[in-house]
Amino acid sequence: MREPGDPRILYNPDYTALAYRGRLLSLPRLQKGLSELINDTWNRLLALTNNTKVKVTVPPLMSEDVRSSNIGESFASHIITDPPTLPLLFEMSRCSRLSLLRHTGEIADGGTFEVDPSASQEFFHKIKPIIEAIAFLVHATGSGPLRLSEVVDDRYCNGSSPRNVFISHGLLFVLRRNFKPSSARGCRSSVVHFPPEKVTELLVYYLAVVRPVEVFLTAGLQWTEQHAAYSQFLYVVKGRQMTPQGLSLIIAQHTDRYFDCRLTGLDLRHVLINLQSVFLPPIIDPSVQKFGDSQAGHGSRVANQVYGQRLDHLPGEQASSFVLSYHWCRKLHTLLGLGPESTLVRPIPYLHAPPQPTWWSPSDYIPPHPPSTAEIMAQVHLAINAALSSATNELTMRCEKVLRESVFRAIAASSITAAPSGPFTGRPPSSTPDDLWTLPLMSDDVSF
């Protein structure tokens, strides 16, 4: 059995910085760096259209069928843009910053348009830092995080395998299915991650505005493999699906630039999981274990050995995994400086936070609804039926008791009436044959 080793992460006394294997990471710098990365990514996106933002509308309270596996199905196909078809291509041609189509034939004869290969290569080069930033943000802020081999397989559209990026109740979430079975790892077979609203807005804009152009260009250039990748996978760079090694290098570059602390994919996973264990109170997973460990895709036993988390927890958690994931992720978003607050919030370790009965209240996100008329009538009928059944059983028992007592009284009275008047000699009268003699226990007129 593995024993917990020496701590890899140590905090300063006021919990504003940590040291991971000798590398210092400031928590205020982490919060500020994530916001800076989001702003830089928006600037790159808007630069494609000369700072003109395309109007993107997601249907309110949109909810998808998570179990549907129809090829080509995606929430991105339900997003409304203005203009409705290839808005980025329209804006780029209007601004004349980069023309992706070239005219063939004589202008006087009308001619046709075809995709310009060199302009397309330049376009894919411009999109490269955008999708890399989105991959980093979704991985680092969604919750968990899981292993990179499980992250790079995220799909926004059903293709050769089912997708795992959905919208339900107007909320975008990533349903990540663990590679190893839950029985072997001691955790749930899938977890739900909610990116922060700021990251969600960035991802939806990219999928609604930029990704259709990437699919269109690869189809026009007859790049079959690249077209298949853009049509289903979320993280595709220059026509190729992102690899775990590539994402780890991206994480190292972004943490070095925006956190002033270079961390690989594995390093960032350890740091983020430790931040959750220190600043978010551990709670029980409704399925098997502590919820934060399930979000990270490992068991509580492994977490206590590798990450040194505490064994205490807050009991009584019975919320569904989907709702619990949402509120857990919201707590994490605030910790990372991407919550709904207008200013950054200094994280407070839960061990030093003001005492509270629980860190969440069911009434905060499960509003009670008044019962309908049908529900009230059903409860009334149930109560009446229960009362009648109880009264009927009691009346039946009383009737049976009275009947038994009446029968026994009748038997006793008959026995006394039929008893012989003279003394009993032990022998029957001489006129009665021995084989017909019986003791007069009861009269013939008594029956049951």
- Both tokens of residue 381? 């009928």
State the pLDDT confidence band at 371, using cuts at 50, 70 and 90: low
Q: What is the pLDDT of residue 189?
A: 61
Same domain, 126 and 22: yes
| pLDDT band with cut points at 50, 70 and 90 for residue 318 | very low
Structural domain count, the chain: 2
In a domain, 309, yes or no: yes
DSSP-based three-state secondary structure for 167: strand
Is 306 part of any domain?
yes
Helix extents (H) in 336-423: 362-365, 373-417
Tens of pLDDT, residue by residue over 34-58, are: 999 999 999 999 999 888 899 999 9
Note whether 328 and 377 are same-domain residues.
Answer: no
Task: Give Cα 409 distance to the centre of its chain.
Answer: 72
Residue 416: inside a domain: no
Q: What sign has the CA pseudo-torsion 81, 83, 89, 91?
A: negative
**Domain check: are 360 and 386 in the same one?**
no
Query: Do 289 and 397 share a domain, yes or no?
Result: no
Cβ-based neighbours of 312, under 8 Å, separated by 6 or more: 282
Residue 383: per-residue pLDDT: 75
Report yes or no: 419 and 440 within 8 Å, Cβ to Cβ: yes
Reply yes or no on whether the pLDDT at 414 is more than 80.
no
Q: Which residue among 316, 332, 365 closes a domain? A: 365
1 or 373: which leads in pLDDT: 373
User: Which residues form the domain of 399?
Assistant: 372-406
Compute the Cα dihedral for 271, 276, 282, 283 and give only its sign. Answer: negative
Cα first-last separation, the chain: 75
* 349/388 same-domain check: no
Distance of alpha carbon 104 from alpha carbon 296, whole angstroms: 53
Q: Which single residue is written with the structure tokens 């004869």?
A: 109
Residues 308 and 389 in one domain: no
pTM of the shown model: 0.70
Instruction: Find out whether 74 and 164 touch, Cβ atoms under 8 Å.
Output: no
Spatial contact of 231 and 157, defined as CB atoms under 8 Å apart:
yes
Distance CA 286, CA 127 (A): 41
In this prediction, residues 47-73 reach a mean pLDDT of 90
Cα separations in angstroms, 208 against 29, 56, 132, 202, 386: 31, 7, 17, 10, 57
Same domain, 259 and 339: yes
Residue 236 phi, psi (nearest 5)? -125, 125
Cα separation, 62 vs 172, whole angstroms: 10
Token output for 307? 């990450």
189 & 264 share domain: yes
212 shares its domain with 313: yes
Q: Is residue 413 part of a domain?
A: no
420 to 416, 426, 439: CA distances (angstroms): 9, 12, 10
Q: What's the pLDDT at 319?
A: 39
Closest CA to 166 of 130, 193, 140: 193
Residue 36 domain-assigned (yes or no)? yes
**Same domain membership, residue 181 and residue 76:** yes
pLDDT at 435 over 50: no
The pLDDT value given to residue 2: 56
Residue 30 lies in a domain: yes
Q: Which residues contact 115 (CB under 8 A, 6 or more apart)?
A: 100, 101, 102, 216, 217, 220, 221
Find the length of the chain: 448
d(CA 266, CA 429): 110
Whole-angstrom Cα distance, residue 298 to residue 306?
A: 10
In a domain, residue 64? The reply is yes
Residue 423, domain member (yes or no): no
333 burial (CB, 10 Å; 0-12 / 13-18 / 19+) is buried
Same domain assignment for residues 380 and 260? no
């038994």: which residue's tokens? 404
Domain co-membership, 272 together with 395: no
pLDDT of res. 211: 96
